[in-house]
Structure 1
């Protein structure tokens, strides 16, 4: 059957979305740790730009967590904007540094990937068989629906059996 192959592809896409979702969650957790580290650096140096970097990083992490949890593309865009603002502030603070380039590469990639995965998840949500995409479950549902629907002759026969007296002696 062709729907089995279609379900297999959709199930694979769903697994990829879940795997990337887990990785994105971990990346936002790492960003939260970096934000805490930057907050400690603020207390050591009392540099206001470092405080701004810490606040932007924390905001990006929180909004990123929410976008992964709720699968909301607007939150994913907001998390990407906060990440970009954090990285820009990091470049203004230190110039071009290894941490800034690593954040730009990793966090930028995962912010874009998060948005694309949310779009894919929303599309998969509209498809038949969501969230498991199991062909046997579809076959079971189809067979159950066929068992529940009776042809008109069977319904008429049941109706006559219910209204009949049950014996032929009366005739």
Structure 2
């Protein structure tokens, strides 16, 4: 796991104004491997999960962002009683459609030690960390003729998102 401590991740998420309570645990589950999961108790009935995800991505180093957020009614004293998320359903495999997507999938899989990577597989859920992002960025740039940064990869953590970003950077995006 990344160097950011689980307690630090919990503290950052606990500062989110719409949350009443937070627990952060590490789960090991195929095919995602070892990932962090945030369990959150919302203050009100309508928690905006996409806003919470954005807050987490902006407030935490990329590798510390929880792979999943599970909304629960309460955090029990025994956090081991919290349900393990089924991360296999997070991103069903979607095959690449273009040669560039095939290349990006191959780079992601090779750097992250996976047998394959689909268009929607998330860099962070697959266990990617800063060093992996640097390696991917250093290989993608020369392969596609565009320089990308580690931070751009953090902002576009799936092959589909990175492919779209590359279109935008090259001026061919919609």
Bucket of the pairwise TM-score, normalised by the shorter protein: under 0.3
Question: What TM-score does the superposition give when structure 2 sets the normalisation length?
Answer: 0.26
Question: What TM-score does the superposition give when structure 1 sets the normalisation length?
Answer: 0.27
Between structure 1 and structure 2, the one with the greater Rg is 1
Please state which structure has a larger fraction of its residues in helix: 1
Please state which structure has a larger fraction of its residues in strand: 2
- Larger RCO of the pair (alpha carbons < 8 Å, separation 6+): 1
